[in-house]
Amino acid sequence: MKFVAPELTHTKKVRVVHLADHTGRLQVIFPEDSMLDLAAIARLTKRRFDPIANYNTAGDPLLQSANCSSIIEKSLLKESFIEIRSNANSQYHQLSTEDFITRFSGPLSRFENISIHIDDIQKPSSNYLNDEQQMLESLGQFQSIRLKQRLEETLEIPPLPAISNQIIRLSSNESSGMDELCDVISLDPSLAAQVVSWAASPYYGAKGGIESVKDAIIRVLGYDMVMNLALGLSMGNAFAQPEDGPRHYEDFWLSSVSHAALMEALVAVVPIAHRPSSGHAYLTGLLHNFGFLAISTMMPPHFSILSRYKEANAHLTSDIVEMQILRFTKEQLGSWLLKHWDIPENICIAIRYSKSPSYQGEYANLANLLYITHQLNSHQEIEPSVLERMGVSLEQVEACHSKVQQSSAELYKMVALINGKKS
């Protein structure tokens, strides 16, 4: 009996996104494993569309082809079956490609090349030592500059606040103590007030009033925590909060404080053999998204474009979208900038590789801990091998996340302290 190989069939899940401009709405349909190319939409329509939804990881409702103009990714015609759902709460249902084409055969629908498969998007350099050259080349494409120019001249790096410089110098002085730290923080009364308010917050449950920075150090936070908290808060003043970011983006400081609090909680459950410094873990959380502010300050036009792409592609991680639009990630830029400002190398490298679950190089414990924090706060799956390397279970880290979430009201109050200072 002659063996006949079964015919291979291809099935592709698709995503629906609604765009609009001042004259009307457009429905676009493209594969889940791809990134919507807004530039391609603009070329095809001669119009500038923006996503309607601020943030929708599951996609928008499917509209009838007779009721709305639709552009569908052309490569879907090569698939045997299409999996689509009518809205975010419904199950995927399968259509043959023939049925799918029939559904969108009307005069308002067209099939075009409107997306980029994620495998075709460039990856960040695997070695952080090559980041500067990668960013130089990318900026050279954007700004038509000579690649030999120094990166800091290209990016116009803002100076580090004087108080931050003093805290960094103090942290590198092994003979410094509590009195010196109190003196430095007291040079900025508003920063000192923040530190005191932080220690006095119900989140830490200190009994009795906290009346001074020294009191905050001795009774509640400890020397390392106050050192790193003050450094993170003071550095935030180097940049203004972005005005044209993704509309779904949560307050920068809320993200920072939430990451810092979760990093602090996770350190406590990590076995000593894999445990990074608690103070450095906290500061890493505070500074993890610094590259986001850096892009908004140094490259405003590109930041605006990037923000719209992130809204349209909320199903993808930020680094994928950043690599396609900027050719580098906010982690690369943030890490490079912090290193330029003499932040400890372990923090810079941890931030740089925080989206790389396979990273096992220098300072991997801190990087892996930040990766776990990212995944928990964004409600994404955690690579089991990372948990194994850190010596923690999924139940342990989820319990830490739940505990921090239960204190979210207090975290919001802490953020209000920071934003109140900036107003």
pLDDT, position 144: 41
- Which amino acid is it at 190? S
pLDDT of 244 reads: 58
Name residue, tokens 């800091």.
152
β-partners of residue 71 are 28, 110
Element housing 398 (H / E): helix 394-406
Largest CA distance in the chain: 89
Angle between helix 300-312 and helix 38-45 axes, rounded to 10 deg: 90
Q: What is the pLDDT of residue 48?
A: 93
Among candidate residues 28, 20, 90, the one with its CA nearest the CA of residue 58: 90
Name, in order, each residue with C-beta under 8 angstroms of 205's C-beta and a sequence gap of 6 or more: none
Give dist(CA 49, CA 190) in Å, integer.
43
Q: In 156-183, which positions are buried (b, 16+ CB within 10 angstroms) versus exposed (e)? A: ebbebbebbebbbebbeeeebeeeebbe
**Contact between 162 and 381 (Cβ < 8 Å):** no
Q: What is the pLDDT of residue 250?
A: 55
Listed in sequence order, the DSSP H helices in 216-299 are: 223-235, 252-269, 278-287, 290-298
Residues of the chain with pLDDT under 70: 1-9, 54, 140-160, 172, 236-250, 420-423
DSSP string, 16-81: EEEEEETTEEEEEEEETTEEE-HHHHHHHHSS--EESSS--TT-PPPPPTTTSEEEEEGGGGG-SE
Nearest Cα residue to 65 out of 38, 99, 33, 40: 99
What contacts 6, CB < 8 A, 6 or more positions away?
Answer: none
Which domains does the chain show, CATH number per domain? 11-120 (3.90.960.10), 128-156+239-422 (1.10.3210.10)
Q: Output the CA torsion 394→397→400→401 (10° steps).
A: -90
Q: How high is the pLDDT of residue 159?
A: 64
Chain centroid, CA 215 distance in Å:
35
Instruction: Report d(CA 116, CA 138) in Å as an integer.
Output: 19
Sign for the CA dihedral angle at 371, 377, 378, 380 comes to positive
Q: What is the pLDDT of residue 370?
A: 97
pLDDT attached to residue 179: 86
Which residues are CB-contacts of 388 (< 8 A; sequence separation ≥ 6)?
none
Other beta carbons within 10 angstroms of residue 373's beta carbon come to 27
By residue count, the chain amounts to: 423
> Which helix (DSSP H) or strand (DSSP E) does residue 308 occupy?
helix 300-312
User: How many angstroms separate the CA atoms of 81 and 10, rounded?
Assistant: 6
Rounded to 5 degrees, φ, ψ at 122 are -55, 145
Angstrom distance (rounded) from CA 311 to CA 248: 7
- For residue 206, give the nearest of 192, 221, 191 by alpha carbon: 221
Alpha-carbon distance 53 to 61, whole Å? 11
